[in-house]
Structure 1
Amino acid sequence: MSSSKFEEFLNKVTSKVKSKEAHSMIKKELTNHLQELSQSFQKREPSKEEADEQAIQEMGNPFTIGENLNRLHKPKMDWVLVVLFIIIAAISFLPLVGGIPGLGFSGFHFIELQAIWLILAVLVIIGFLFFDYQKLKNLWIYFYGTGLLLLLYTYSFGNMINGATRSISIGGFPFDVTITLFLFFLAWAGIFNKIKEFNSWKKYMLLFFLFWTPILIYMMLPHFWLSIIYFLCILTMFAFSHAPKKLAMKLLATNIAAGLIIVITMIITSRGTFFFTRLLAFINPDTDPYGDGYMYMMIRDLLSQAGWFGKGLYNDINNESLPAAHTDFVFPYLVYSLGWAFGIVLCLILLLFISRIASNAFKTKDQFGRLLVIGGATLFTVPACWNILMGLGIFPIIGASLPFISYGGDIFYAAILGLILNVYRRKDIVEPTIVKLE
């Protein structure tokens, strides 16, 4: 600090700012203004002390300045996003009203369980909302390392569900492999926040290795769905990472080539496998209407009967006609039950939810926060779009749930939403790290 008078002035200003998190940023900004004013006054004033005093007087009443800054620099909640979340969470109860076909329990039983899951989700959101997310940006190596170790442990000792290794148990506590996706998401936000430091061919190769290793392990589980989400999430974050053009072009070309090699290899080696037959069934379900093509035929038939206002929540759907009507196929179930009008409204609500998240990314001046929100928006967009398009028979059937609507735990999405709200909450109290806003 150039002057004790400056320090006294700044303390008076910040005494009126309730958010202590914003104090350092405010002091830094005002100090620069005071120093600039002092330097200009030193050309006319006989001493530096008098120039400093003149600079302070020029700034005005410190308490008034503090009150004005308090209105600008305070935590803010995105209530629009919160309301949209509440609406979506409320919709998640609709598929459970008539009970879950084939499981023999009443709808009220599953509504109770869903309520418990949502309460846990809200607690997770709150937990991720009220801490300094910037403390995470230098921990990327720990997030990545933990995610990689969990993936390898899952591959070696995980439990098989529907032909894929999906869960592990550590110390008696079950963990779904999806947790690794969250850890990699945090890790890559930290990596891309420092992308300009990767300026040599050795570091290029390190990025290449870090990017593809989780994808290969996901495919070995096999868990193709997580590899797809991971690929698209990291790619989207990289696009907004402000990477130097030369680095971006090199990494883009290298990864496209690697991706093509992997896809071609998968197609060649998967002939006759479960994956290949499912892919053929998607392309032409009529060739196997009682096997792998059955679900595509059934979805097509149910949607053709839905009409604008549906058949009602207490309808004739059973476990044979639409398995997983409350999870993977919740969208066609809701369309069949409540009609295409409701389906369109639901799509619009989800579009507003995702658009709101995406727009929030550009309301923060912190690069790490922006990357978190962009990655989070992708982690919501990909499953939501895939689930809906899968439910319409446009995309291949895969284990893609509809965020906050499909029955069961949404802790993964709750953690992401908590971080997104956290970034928005702190957007006016963090120091800018983005020089030019898009």
Structure 2
Amino acid sequence: MISREQRTPLSEWWWTVDRLQLAAIIVLMLAGIILSLAASPPVAVRIGLDPFHFFNHHVMFLVPAFTVMIAVSFLSPKQIRRSALIVFAVSIALIVATLLIGPEVKGSRRWITLIGVNIQASESAKPAFVVLSAWLFAESTKRPEMPATSMALMLLLTLVSLLVMEPDFGQTMLISMVWGSLFFIAGMRMVWVMGLAGVASAGLFGAYLLVPHVAGRIQRFMNPSSGDTFQVDTALEAFYNGGWFGLGPGEGIAKRSLPDSHTDFVFAVAAEEFGIVLCLVLLSLFAFIVIRALSRAYASEDMFARFAASGLAVLFGVQAAINMSVNLQLIPAKGMTLPFISYGGSSIVSLAYGVGMMLALTRHRPRTEMESIGDANALRGYA
């Protein structure tokens, strides 16, 4: 038992971190282990691998991911800003390297292999980008004369340009939505928000006209008979098959034919084997984490902590919402993992880094002695 009277880094962390939010994240990680065991063996067998290949890798990546999450949650806001700057710089360098020497898979260059490990640098760039943007927006509220908003816009254009070159329009859309949310949370004028929404819509329309891959997905969503909709149709059928309580562990049918049942469509496998009830539980966990983080963020007096924690919560929630919406055919298909549930090394570790920063920024930090002295002096002067 950790005592409140102990003045150690561990005790201070334990009594200031949001333990309910931490518990919800751990439950998601455990659910990811169970669903990986349910969804991945058929995929591994189809491509000639050991049945538990993806499951073993999923569990293996969870170890460094959990370590990263806990370690980052100990950091102070200043340390978080510095780590985000380093992670973002390294991620941008890796994205550029991916564009130059990365292998082309299905017309895209998104992965690079370092020391035998496949890395998708855009995953680690996302949480770091959110924190840096929040830092700039927070500075703009303190020092209006500083061109912080313009710098945040340049940051967005830099990352989005590189993602479009891969191309990865799913991540581009996610990044743009989160940046727009931060822009709104920071109190920018509605005319700017509407203008940015217009630019984003124009960009999506341009992608529809110029990129056949994007046009095909939108057309298949609007008119299923216009192309191959096997994956999304099979995923939706899994929800019907599962009903409220599912067919039972290992009894699912969709995972036997879905190529991405362990990644993009693991939510459909969960619905078929464990039922809609489990899906609602997962949805509730995601909603709880996001709402809890937002409520604690808005209780913070530190503008950077408020903006950064809010942005990270929106990033986490929107990514989950996109994945679940694709599984339910509510939006066009796009390659987006379900946080801590889908298989993926870079994704899991990067998500752990993001929620670790979210936990750190929403900790109840006691007022320092210097702040108390400053308030006391101010009160004396006022009196």
- The answer (yes or no) to whether the contact 1:376–1:417 under 8 Å persists in 2 is yes
Letter in 1 for 2:250: Y
Q: In 2 relative to 1, CA 318–198 (structure 1 residues): closer, same or farther, beyond 3 Å?
A: same
1:215 matched to 2:148:
no
1:328 matched to 2:264:
yes
Distance of 2:283 and 2:201 partners within structure 1: 32
1:298 matched to 2:234:
yes
1:411 matched to 2:349:
yes
Distance of 1:112 and 1:147 partners within structure 2: 26
Tell me the CA shift for residue 199 of structure 1.
4.0
More divergent stretch after superposition (180-189 vs 216-225) = 180-189
Q: In 2 relative to 1, CA 153–356 (structure 1 residues): closer, same or farther, beyond 3 Å?
A: same
**Aligned match of 2:377:** none
Alignment of 1:36-75 (within 5 A): none
Tell me the CA shift for residue 211 of structure 1.
2.5
Q: In 2 relative to 1, CA 343–254 (structure 1 residues): closer, same or farther, beyond 3 Å?
A: closer
Distance of 2:144 and 2:191 partners within structure 1: 12
Letter in 1 for 2:43: G
**Aligned match of 1:158:** 102
Structure 2: give runs of 5+ residues left out of the alignment: 373-383
Distance of 1:225 and 1:155 partners within structure 2: 17
- The answer (yes or no) to whether the contact 1:143–1:186 under 8 Å persists in 2 is no
Letter in 2 for 1:100: P
Distance of 2:281 and 2:299 partners within structure 1: 27
Tell me the CA shift for residue 337 of structure 1.
0.6
Tell me the CA shift for residue 136 of structure 1.
4.2
Q: Normalization by structure 1: what TM-score?
A: 0.72
Q: In 2 relative to 1, CA 251–420 (structure 1 residues): closer, same or farther, beyond 3 Å?
A: same
**Aligned match of 2:214:** 275
1:390 matched to 2:326:
yes
User: Which of 355, 359, 363 is residue 425 of structure 1 equivalent to?
Assistant: 363
Instruction: Say which structure, 1 or 2, has more relative contact order (CA 8 Å, 6+ apart).
Output: 2
Task: Choose 1 or 2 for highest CA Rg.
Answer: 1
User: Which of 8, 12, 33 is residue 93 of structure 1 equivalent to?
Assistant: 33
Tell me the CA shift for residue 240 of structure 1.
2.1
Which structure has the highest helix share of the two? 2
Alignment of 1:19-418 (within 5 A): 76-98=16-38, 100-104=41-45, 110-137=54-81, 145-169=89-113, 174-177=118-121, 178-196=123-141, 197=143, 199=145, 206-243=151-188, 248-249=189-190, 251-252=192-193, 254-270=195-211, 273-288=212-227, 291=228, 293-317=229-253, 321-409=257-345, 410-418=348-356
Distance of 1:92 and 1:113 partners within structure 2: 12
Tell me the CA shift for residue 263 of structure 1.
2.7
- Aligned residue for 2:284, secondary structure, equals helix
Q: Normalization by structure 2: what TM-score?
A: 0.81
- Aligned residue for 1:403, secondary structure, equals coil
Tell me the CA shift for residue 364 of structure 1.
1.9
- The answer (yes or no) to whether the contact 1:327–1:406 under 8 Å persists in 2 is yes
Q: In 2 relative to 1, CA 106–335 (structure 1 residues): closer, same or farther, beyond 3 Å?
A: farther
Distance of 2:336 and 2:114 partners within structure 1: 25
Tell me the CA shift for residue 81 of structure 1.
0.9
- The answer (yes or no) to whether the contact 2:236–2:328 under 8 Å persists in 1 is yes
Distance of 2:125 and 2:324 partners within structure 1: 24
- The answer (yes or no) to whether the contact 1:140–1:191 under 8 Å persists in 2 is no
Distance of 1:125 and 1:415 partners within structure 2: 5
Letter in 2 for 1:96: S
Q: In 2 relative to 1, CA 208–379 (structure 1 residues): closer, same or farther, beyond 3 Å?
A: closer
- Aligned residue for 2:291, secondary structure, equals helix
Tell me the CA shift for residue 254 of structure 1.
4.7
Letter in 2 for 1:238: F
Q: In 2 relative to 1, CA 138–352 (structure 1 residues): closer, same or farther, beyond 3 Å?
A: closer
- The answer (yes or no) to whether the contact 1:383–1:402 under 8 Å persists in 2 is yes
- The answer (yes or no) to whether the contact 2:234–2:254 under 8 Å persists in 1 is no
Tell me the CA shift for residue 176 of structure 1.
1.5
- The answer (yes or no) to whether the contact 1:328–1:406 under 8 Å persists in 2 is yes
- The answer (yes or no) to whether the contact 1:147–1:184 under 8 Å persists in 2 is no
Distance of 1:324 and 1:429 partners within structure 2: 49
**Aligned match of 1:63:** none
Q: In 2 relative to 1, CA 206–344 (structure 1 residues): closer, same or farther, beyond 3 Å?
A: closer
CA RMSD in angstroms comes to 3.2
Distance of 1:136 and 1:377 partners within structure 2: 16
Cα deviation, 1:342-381, whole Å, max 9, x if unaligned, reads 2222222222222222222123221111122111101111
- Aligned residue for 2:99, secondary structure, equals helix
- The answer (yes or no) to whether the contact 1:146–1:183 under 8 Å persists in 2 is no
- The answer (yes or no) to whether the contact 2:231–2:258 under 8 Å persists in 1 is yes
Equivalent residues, number: 357
